[in-house]
Amino acid sequence: MRDELSLPPQFQSGAFSVSAAVAAGVTPGKLRNPKLHAPFVGVRSHTEPISRRERAIALGQRLSDGQAISGLAAAELWGLRIPNLANTRSADIEVLTRASVSRVRIGGVKSRAIRDDFFRASRLGSVPVVSPVLAVLTSAMHLNAFDITVMLDALLTDFNKYPSLNFAERPLLVPADLPAILAKFERMRGIRTLRQAVVRARPRVESPMESVARLQFVDAGLPEPEVQPEVFLDDGTLYRPDLGYPEAGLYLNYDGDFHFTDQATIDADVLRDRQFQEAGMRLMHVVKTDLNGKRWHELVRSIRVQLARSAVI
């Protein structure tokens, strides 16, 4: 007769390790119940994990000390921006281990080792995850310098409202830390990409899309805009636009959805635009659709015209 799926409270939802369940007295028959999924050897889950994040959380239940989720899954768990293209690549979850610890050798997992003294990890909930720095390093073999730069900007930010990040320390790094990191991990795969990204990374960024906009402007041949330039308005108010060309009196804000749904934000934006205009400056608003296709080319042309009028280019 097949066991009913009656489990201790800690195993009644989400994913869990078989060894932990057995240690708590769960019988092998219950662990074979067809209501449970087995996404990895040694793991059971009440729902089938599909996404990279879900699979990483499931795998994390069976990892031992000295083993941690790494690569794109780790970056995602820390809240770093993952480009959509990365979602079409290998579904394998990556694990980084201390060199003195056994690697994880099961289907659907890629395991790499690192020197014990280089290994850094902590737990996000019940999942061991490499440090944010190692998450970026182990993602560098999968992404280009543009996308790794966006991640580095997030590690360098001092803005406590930077969206989605799951680490509290701000900044996690300062620019002076980067050369030492490059030297320390000079033999890791992806280090060439990381070197290229370090040159382009900037502190003070307040959202990943600010990084994307800045990098796209430079790649389009525009001068690099200043990040979070300080502007004193006529009433004495200090305002920091996302990006700017102070010598041209041209500033840019990347506007997320809340700029169009929150009435207080809408009102503040209208007032600020008026203040910039009265001071002889221009504050341009950039939205997601401006960064692609025909609207992108029109935006670049408009910025180029404004800079040419001010003899900046």
Last residue of a domain, one of 200, 228, 252: 200
In a domain, 1, yes or no: no
Q: Are residues 143 and 76 in the same domain?
A: yes
Would you write out the chain's pLDDT as a tens digit for each of its 313 residues?
Answer: 444 588 999 999 999 999 999 999 999 999 999 999 999 999 999 999 999 999 999 999 999 999 999 999 999 999 999 998 766 555 689 999 999 999 999 999 999 999 999 999 999 999 999 999 999 999 999 999 999 999 999 999 999 999 999 999 999 999 999 999 999 999 999 999 999 999 999 999 999 999 999 999 999 999 999 999 999 988 888 999 999 999 999 999 998 765 556 666 776 777 788 999 888 999 999 999 999 999 999 999 999 999 999 877 7
pLDDT of res. 260: 56
Contact 219, 173 (CB under 8 A): no
pLDDT of res. 235: 86
In a domain, 50, yes or no: no
- The DSSP letter of residue 277 is H
- The DSSP letter of residue 37 is B
In a domain, 269, yes or no: yes
pLDDT of res. 3: 47
Q: Are residues 128 and 235 in the same domain?
A: no
- How many structural domains does the chain have? 3
Last residue of a domain, one of 200, 222, 248: 200
User: Residues 274, 280, 281, 285: is their CA dihedral positive or negative?
Assistant: positive
In a domain, 235, yes or no: yes
CA-wise closest residue to 251 among 264, 235, 233: 233
| 198-254 pLDDT, tens digit each | 999 999 999 999 999 999 999 999 999 999 999 998 888 899 999 999 999 999 999
CATH of the domain at 232: 3.40.960
Last residue of a domain, one of 151, 175, 200: 200
In a domain, 94, yes or no: yes
Q: Are residues 242 and 305 in the same domain?
A: yes
In a domain, 54, yes or no: no
Q: Are residues 27 and 106 in the same domain?
A: no
Residue 183: φ, ψ to 5°: -70, -40
- The parent domain of residue 272 ranges over 208-309
Q: Are residues 195 and 215 in the same domain?
A: no
Q: Are residues 68 and 196 in the same domain?
A: yes
In a domain, 53, yes or no: no
Q: Are residues 125 and 187 in the same domain?
A: yes
234 by DSSP, 3-state: which? coil
Q: Are residues 73 and 195 in the same domain?
A: yes
Does residue 171 have a cis bond before it (omega within 30 degrees)? Answer: yes
Q: Are residues 161 and 85 in the same domain?
A: yes
Q: Are residues 130 and 239 in the same domain?
A: no
The torsion defined by the Cα of 292, 79, 117 and 99, in degrees rounded to 10, comes to: -80
User: Residues 55, 120, 167, 170: is their CA dihedral positive or negative?
Assistant: negative
CA-wise closest residue to 54 among 42, 35, 37: 37
Q: Are residues 117 and 244 in the same domain?
A: no
The torsion defined by the Cα of 148, 149, 155 and 158, in degrees rounded to 10, comes to: -160
Q: Are residues 145 and 240 in the same domain?
A: no
